Structure 1
Amino acid sequence: MSVMQGDGRLKSQRFRQAREGDWKRLERLMDKAEKGSARRLSDEEILAIPVLYRSTLSALSVARETSLDRALIGYLETLCARAYFFVYGSRSTLMGKLGAFFRRDWPMAVRALWRETFASGLLMLGGAIAAAVLVGQEPDWFYAFVPAEMASGRDPAASTETLRATLAGEDTSAGLSAFATFLFTHNARIAILAFALGFALCIPTGLLVLYNGATLGAFVTLFASRGLGVEVGGWLLIHGVTELFAVILAGAGGLRIGWAIAFPGDRDRLDAAADAGRTAATVIAGVVVMLFVAGLLEGFGRQLIESTPIRYAVAGTSALIWGLYFYGPRRRPAHV
């Protein structure tokens, strides 16, 4: 037995001596990279790491097959694991991930939901038209579509002069800040609900988007009946282009999930929902950004800019920016 053990140790020593130089070099490079000095690796060192990794991985395989000592196998396993994460692991920074999200992931996800976006937009438009017809025939319908806290005195009981005065800007920055915070929270809640309720087979999402459109239609109809249609259009659209598009996209994400659950096709229902959820989740992450921008425009831009033509100009510019960002021509990513 002692002779056999001696032979095993001799084989292990010879095996290590023949390859230990490469292992030590790979270990030094891993130490350098893991201490935050990866950027200081030379081109030669970076190119050497994959070669050394495959050589060490081959040595590990031989060591396992020939039953060399466990200490050597453990050392090689650890070294191979370290090198694997360097060669194949993701080394992107937070800023890199954010850049990829805004540059590629978010626009691609929105494009993938173009059918659901179209359907969500039609639902909002349908709600706005229905409310406009009802409020135009009977002003008391306004209260069914617009909550009192949202109306803030802008209702059929208000005089035309009062309604006109509400379209003017605020004066204090403190008031603007509080107003922006309230509206951002309110609009974010609508968007998140429209997305989350998609799991209930699209119906609650569709109703929420429909109701949101009805609120808009009732509000515009009230002002238009007092000869303030053009003014209220600028007052709403300076932020509404971004805000309403965000709600439409959130609704589209909910519709995608609900449709996948209701009609999974050949796939398992859970797999279909998970696939739809990944795309929709990317969209809703971007929707939060849009709502933040809308909150700033609503709480500050709309209140500080009192000129109706300038309000329409800001609205048109934001529509052009979002349209080009999501649906404009893009260069295809290069494939290696």
Structure 2
Amino acid sequence: MHSIETNMNYEGSDKQTCWARFEATVNNLQKRRDKDLRILSEIELMDFFNQYQTITADLARARSLGAPDSVVDRLNRMAVAGHMILYAYNTKPKPKSSTRWWASFAQVLRQNLWALGLSSILFFGAALITFVAVIQNPPLGFDLVPDEFLHFNPAKEDNMHDIPSLSRPIAASSIMSNNIQVSLLAFGFGLTAGIGTSAILLFNGMYLGAIAGWFSVQGNSRALWGWVMPHGGVELLAICIAGAGGFLLAKAIYCPGQVSRRTALKKIGKSALTMEVGVIVMLVFAGLIEGFVSPSSITYPTRIAVLISTLGLWGCYFAMAGNQVFSRRH
């Protein structure tokens, strides 16, 4: 029996710890009426699966090596309990979710506000620093501001220029394509461990800040913001969310947890892709406003109203869509 005990090592501290952890998880789940694995985090769930596989393997070895009945009985109870929980989870009819596909975008964003915060800090931080730098040192604008904006003088105070109605669909299409390209780059470069995503956000933030600073120096800030306000709020938010999607991919590379980086990317990639699809929808929305509303002759107060209303609508969507707490209250 010595060889059996040595091979099985059922009294070893590692085995006892593993079995005790599995029993504790099973007991915790069995106390719940629904025995739902969804109460576990992703890491805890993967750990539970790994422990279950270890338990079943130990049970098979214990039986084949003739381990004491007490050990076999304990392992058998754990294996049966684990199987019942896993089987119930896999065969349980999935409840009809009150959420639809459109709600998943908001849910994923709420679950990853840290990524949105990081993306926003990089983008708006770069914009603010560059804005102040150009204000304090106007000649810097010649190095940072694109040539087409250096000597731009809007014809009207309230809007930079008025695109003819027949040309607006073409303008909207061009604007959407450019913004979607930027968002795809910010998202896709997450696979560079977030380095490329950070560069995209910093560059575009500096671009925005330099132009804003230059127009302020030239006394044309009202014209700039008159143009930007109707669509800019949604557009800039969308770009920050695209960056957040990129940082989700970077998280899978930097912090894969107890799984391989490839597995972590597959797991987190679905959430990141959901964010990017939502970003594209936002940019189409913003592009239509930028192509049809921003270049129109609407008044400055109306432009402010469009900014507030569009951000308010998207804010309500992100706060309420797929939010079970809100749904129960209503």
Give 3-state SS (helix, strand or coil) of 2:162's partner.
Answer: coil
Q: What does 1:70-149 correspond to in 2, within 5 Å? A: 100-102=100-102, 104-148=103-147
* Paired-residue identity, %: 29
Give the direction of change, closer, same or farther, for the CA distance of 1:328–1:100 in structure 2 (3 Å limit). closer
Q: Is the 8 A contact 2:249 2:268 kept in 1?
A: yes
Q: Which residue of 1 aligns with 2:58?
A: none
Asked if 1:286 corresponds to 2:278, the answer is yes
Measure, in 2, the Cα distance between the counterparts of 1:143 and 1:249: 30
Q: Distance in 2 between matches of 1:305 and 1:247?
A: 27
The answer on whether the counterparts of 1:169 and 1:306 sit within 8 Å (CA) in structure 2 is no
Residue 130 of structure 2 aligns to which amino acid in structure 1?
A
Task: After TM superposition, give the deviation of residue 234 of structure 1 in Å.
Answer: 3.0
Counterparts in 2 of 1:274 and 1:305: CA distance versus 1, 3 Å: farther
Alignment of 1:140-179 (within 5 A): 140-148=139-147, 153-155=148-150, 157-159=151-153, 164=157, 167-170=160-163, 172-179=164-171
- The CA deviation string for residues 153-209 of structure 1, in whole angstroms up to 9 with x for no partner, is 322x345x5584861432x22221221111111111000000000000101101101
1:256 Cα offset (Å): 1.0
Q: Give structure 2 stretches of 5+ with no counterpart.
A: 1-90
Determine the C-alpha separation between the residues in 1 that align with 2:319 and 2:251: 23
Deviation of 1:212 (Å): 1.0
Going from structure 1 to structure 2, the CA distance change for 1:226 and 1:111 (only over 3 Å counts) comes to same
Distance 1:304 1:165, change over 3 A: closer
Cα distance change, pair 282–293 in 1 and its aligned pair in 2 (3 A):
same
Shift of 1:294: 0.8
Q: Please say if residues 106 and 286 of structure 1, whose CA atoms lie closer than 8 Å, have aligned partners that are also in contact.
A: yes
Q: CA deviation at 1:269?
A: 1.3
Aligned AA (2:196):
P
Does the CA-based 8 Å contact 1:195-1:250 persist in structure 2? yes
Higher relative contact order (CA 8 A, sep 6+): 2
Q: Is the 8 A contact 2:135 2:213 kept in 1?
A: yes
Name the TM-score, length of structure 2 as normaliser: 0.64
Note the residue ranges of structure 1 that are not aligned, 5 or more in a row. Answer: 1-86
Aligned with 2:214 (options 204, 219, 222): 222
Q: How far does residue 141 in structure 1 lie from its aligned partner after superposition?
A: 3.2
Q: Is 1:295 matched up with 2:287?
A: yes
Distance change >3 Å, CA 306–CA 145, structure 1 → 2:
farther
Q: Deviations over 1:242-282 (max 9, x none)?
A: 11111100000001111220221222211211122110100
The Cα offsets for residues 122-166 of structure 1, whole Å up to 9 and x where unpaired, read as 111111012112322343433544444xxxx322x345x558486
Tell me which of 168, 186, 189 is aligned to 1:194. Answer: 186
Amino acid corresponding to residue 113 of structure 2 in structure 1:
W
What is the number of residues matched between the two proteins? 235
TM-score, normalising length from structure 1?
A: 0.63
Where 1:302 maps in the other structure, the secondary structure is coil
Secondary structure at the residue paired with 1:304? coil
Tell me, yes or no, if structure 1 residue 211 matches structure 2 residue 211.
Answer: no
> How large is the RMSD of aligned CA atoms in angstroms?
2.8
